[in-house]
Every structure is written in C-alpha cells, then in structure tokens.
Chains A and B, each alone.
Chain A
Amino acid sequence: MVKLNRAIKDIHITDNADDGKKGVHPISWLLVTIVYIIAVVSFSKYNIIGLAGMVLYILIQCIWYEISVTGMIKRIWPVFLFTVLLGIANPFFDRTVSAGVLSMATLVLKGIFCVAASYILVVQTGIRQICYALHIMRLPKEIVTVLLLMHRYLIVLLKELERMQLAYKLRAPGHRGLHFRTWGSFVGLLLLRSMDRAGEVYESMKLRGFNGTFQMFSGKYSHIGSIVYLIVWGAAILTMRLFPIFKMAEVAIWQILR
C-alpha cells in the first residue's frame, strides 16, 4: 500500500519535474543521455575498467543536482537483479569462468548505468519536457501524444489499484497480498474501472479543446547554458569512452607515490 502510494507520488513528481528551473533545455538533457547510453553500450564485454569510468557521469549528476543516490538505488534495484539473471549463465558458457564473470559484471554495469542515466533524465526534466524535446526532434506527434497519454493512464491505473487494494485489505486483514482466487476478478475489475476512469479523463480533455495533440510549450531556458551543457558533457562522455579514466588515474597515482 505504502509502496503503491510512493509509486504514484514518484510518477507525479516526474510529471514536469523541471519546466526550465535548471536552465538547461530538455533537448540538451536528452541528447547527453542518448550519447551516454550509446557510449556505455559500445564498451566491449571484457572492458570493465573502461566501463567503470562511466560511473563518473552518474555521480557528478547526482552531486550537482542533489539527486538522492539511495533513492535512485532503490528504484533501479530490480534492474540489477534482472541483469544478473540475464548474465548468470555467462561464467559457464564464456571462454573461461573468469572471462564469463567479467562479461557478466560488464553486462550488469551496463544495465545499471543506462537505467541510472534514464532515471536522472526523467527526474531532472520530467516526462512532459522529454516529450517536448522529442517533439522538437521531429518525432511523429502521434508517438509523443501516445507517450503522454500512457503516462496519464499509468497514474489512473495505479490510483484505481490503490483504491481497490485498500478496499480488499480492509475486508481481508489477515491476508498477505491478494488471495489467488481473487486475482482474476481483481485484475478484470481493475482494468474495467481504470478504463472507465480513463474515459472520463479523456472526456474532460475533449471538453477543454483537446484534439489529439498535446500543446507543447517550452519553459524558460538559457540557450547558452544548454549549448555549454551539451558540449561539455558530450566531450566528457567521449573522453571517458575513449580513455580508461580509472586506469589512467591509477597510473598517475602510482607515479605520484613513487
């Protein structure tokens, strides 16, 4: 129940997290994230030291924009489990066991970094500004509208789920979770109720002039700041991709120590 409530809150927070408060245009955020994800994915499966250097982007973003690291870890925890499951067979099927462990660790890191970067993007810009950026990038308006409507529907669905779960728990205080016998009717009813509610929301939108396209508008952004952000981060990510930062740092530290 608490988890569900927190999920609804999280989604609301990502509704329009930024709207220009941080001065960076969403298209810069989006492009930097895309460049970062491409860079992360492009590492070979044994280059774990090079890949590890990419954590700097995540850390600097978290420190600079005061994003809670523990909050982020809590939210991307399932991705860790999922990637571990995906790579669990690697030690047995790769060239050697140690190579397999290495490739599994790389896979896990790649998954975590990509999701963490996406998380930072959503938390910093909000879904509406991301869609605005996609709209500027000439993504078909139908796709942008569907993305926004899916986001709306998700909220409606979760709210209905919260109500139904509360009603269930109040009448089944001893149960841990839903009894399997009620799963069918519960899910069916949930879908029907959320569709009804979504229908009402859509009616409300139509009555206020909605014609199938969300009106996109830009917040107040600093153009120079956005360009600087894009160039600096783009260059930094490429540097991290091309040069193994941690390896170089290790060599430098050894030289200093000598």
Chain B
Amino acid sequence: MADIEMKDVNFSYQKGRQVLYDINISVERGKSTGLIGANGAGKSTLLKLLVGLINGYKGTIEVLGQPVEKKNLTDIRKKVGYVFCDSESQLFMSTVYEDVAFGVRNYGYSEEIVQKKVMEALHKVNIENLKDRQIYRMSGGQKKLASIATILSMEPEIVLFDEPTIALDPKNRRNLIGVLNGMSETKIIASHDLDMILDTCEETILLSEGKLICKGKTEDILKNKELLEEHDMELPLCMQDRRGK
C-alpha cells in the first residue's frame, strides 16, 4: 500500500510561474525515498505540498489515504513529520526538552506521557544527555538531531526531510545517516548530498525544472552520469574519479 500518492500534480506560486508539472509519484510504506534535483527543481515545494504548507495545487495528493485538503490537515500533520532545512526555524523553544515536548503537548497528552515520548525520541537520536541544553548553546549537528527528535516525539508514520545534511561536518553527517537508517518510518529525503542519498534511500526520484524525470532504484539513477549531467547534477563523490579526470 502506498503512503503517498501524487497524481498529475501541477503547482504554480503565481500566474505564469509554474513550479511543478504533471508529477506522478507513489511512495510505499516503510520505504526511504530520495528526492534529488538541482536548485530550483521543486524539491522543497513538493515536500511542502505534502503537509499542506502551500496549497492551490491541481491534481490529486493523498497522504495515508487522505486527500491533502484543509479539512484533513490536522490529521495529516499529526502523522507526517517535516524536518526543515534550517534547524533554527524548527527549534523555537528555549531548551531541547521543551522543543521536543511542544508538539506532543499540543495534542493534549498528559505530562507523564509527554515526558515518556520526549525521552524516547531523544533516545532514538542519541541526545538524551542534551535534554536540558539551551538551544542557542548547541552546535549545528546537535540542533539537527534535536530537530529530528521534535518530529519523532509525535510518532509520525511518514517523515519528510529537507536537506538534512546541509552544514554538517563529516562526523555529524555520518551520525545523522546512522539515525536515518535506524528509522522505520516512511521517509522522503530531499537533498543535494547524493552520497547520503546513496547511503539511506532504496529509491530515488529525480526532478528537473519542476518535472519528474525518473524514479527508480537509487544506485541505478546515481550511477547514470549522463542522466545526472543532463539535469545539472554530478555523480556522487564516492563514484567520481578523485583525480578529476
């Protein structure tokens, strides 16, 4: 069964500036799917459409069997987590605990359950020790993990990541890849970091200028040098000739 279904989706921010053209995507339950494309390809827009952060699309979008419409948004957002590209936008409370608890509290759980869910989420991303840390004292890598914990505490069925490895050093990036691989939820990861996509995603979708170019096994797409270059991308670093030849 597909968790996410997009049929003939077209979207434009304003008249005459179309961002997505006839997108047809289906993401199966439990799968990790990479979303790649050059800058301006429409990756973030596509993710935002899935949680109703932007609306006015044409076509059909169904998430967990529910059409993405205003009346369903509360329910959809309860089940779909969105990790922002910039952790500064995601984390707005004072401490890690408070931020991770924010979403759970909004759904009316008692403080005991809130505490349990928060601790579980922090455990999943290995930052229990940062529970009481103030956000502004954290490093970029720690903030990214805390952002993921804010989503995991709500126990979503689907998690959407927008550029999760951006501005992370190699060690934090490796740590994040471990966390992503340890997650059992359905995931869509939008990124330019093709090596990370290779490490974390079974399937990959390639977008270019708002059009769906192809969808298939990650290795097949990321090995295809001509395909990538045709759409302003390059092979993952691990597949490139390091001498630049």
Q: Is the CB of B94 within 8 A of A197?
A: no
- Determine the residue in chain B with the shortest Cβ distance to A220: B111
Q: Is the CB of B92 within 8 A of A152?
A: yes
Binding-face segment, A30-38, A132-140, A208-216: A208-216
Q: Is the CB of A208 within 8 A of B106?
A: yes
Q: Is the CB of A200 within 8 A of B136?
A: no
Q: Is the CB of A206 within 8 A of B88?
A: no
**CB of A8 within 8 A of chain B?**
yes
Q: Is the CB of B89 within 8 A of A207?
A: no
**CB of B77 within 8 A of chain A?**
yes
Residues of chain B lying within 8 A (CB to CB) of residue A15:
93-95, 98, 134
**CB of A9 within 8 A of chain B?**
yes
Known pairs A15-B94, A197-B89, A200-B89; A207 contacts B53 (CB<8 A): yes
A112 to B129, CA, bound (A): 41
Known pairs A12-B134, A12-B136, A207-B82; A201 contacts B92 (CB<8 A): yes
- Determine the residue in chain A with the shortest Cβ distance to B154: A208
Residues of chain B lying within 8 A (CB to CB) of residue A210:
102, 106
Known pairs A12-B134, A217-B111; A204 contacts B106 (CB<8 A): no
Residues of chain B lying within 8 A (CB to CB) of residue A215:
102, 105-106, 108
**CB of B51 within 8 A of chain A?**
yes
A206 to B111, CA, bound (A): 21
8 Å CB interface, A126-167 against B: 152, 159
Q: Is the CB of B94 within 8 A of A206?
A: no
Q: Is the CB of A205 within 8 A of B92?
A: yes
Q: Is the CB of A209 within 8 A of B103?
A: yes
Q: Is the CB of B93 within 8 A of A209?
A: no
Q: Is the CB of A204 within 8 A of B105?
A: no
Q: Is the CB of B105 within 8 A of A207?
A: no
Chain B 168-188 interface mask (CB, 8 Å, partner A; 1/0): 000000000000000000000
Q: Is the CB of B106 within 8 A of A9?
A: no
**CB of A203 within 8 A of chain B?**
yes
Chain B 62-83 interface mask (CB, 8 Å, partner A; 1/0): 0000000000001001100110
**CB of B21 within 8 A of chain A?**
no
- Determine the residue in chain B with the shortest Cβ distance to A204: B90
Q: Is the CB of A204 within 8 A of B89?
A: yes
Selected from A16, A152, A206, the residue in CB contact (under 8 A) with B77 is: A206
Selected from A16, A197, A203, A209, the residue in CB contact (under 8 A) with B78 is: A209
Most buried by A among B77, B89, B93, B108: B89
A208 to B148, CA, bound (A): 12
- Determine the residue in chain B with the shortest Cβ distance to A15: B94
What are 23 residue pairs bridging A and B, where the CB atoms are less than 8 Å apart in the complex?
A: A12-B94, A12-B135, A12-B136, A15-B98, A15-B134, A16-B98, A152-B92, A200-B89, A201-B89, A201-B92, A203-B53, A203-B89, A205-B92, A206-B77, A207-B53, A208-B77, A208-B102, A208-B154, A209-B74, A209-B106, A210-B106, A215-B102, A215-B105
8 new A-B contacts at CB < 8 Å, known A8-B136, A215-B102: A12-B134, A152-B92, A197-B89, A200-B89, A201-B92, A207-B81, A208-B106, A209-B103
Residues on B facing A (Cβ under 8 Å): 51, 53, 74, 77-78, 81-82, 84, 86, 88-90, 92-95, 98, 102-103, 105-108, 111, 134-136, 150-151, 154
The 7 closest A-B pairs by CB, nearest first: A15-B94, A208-B103, A209-B106, A200-B89, A215-B105, A201-B92, A204-B90
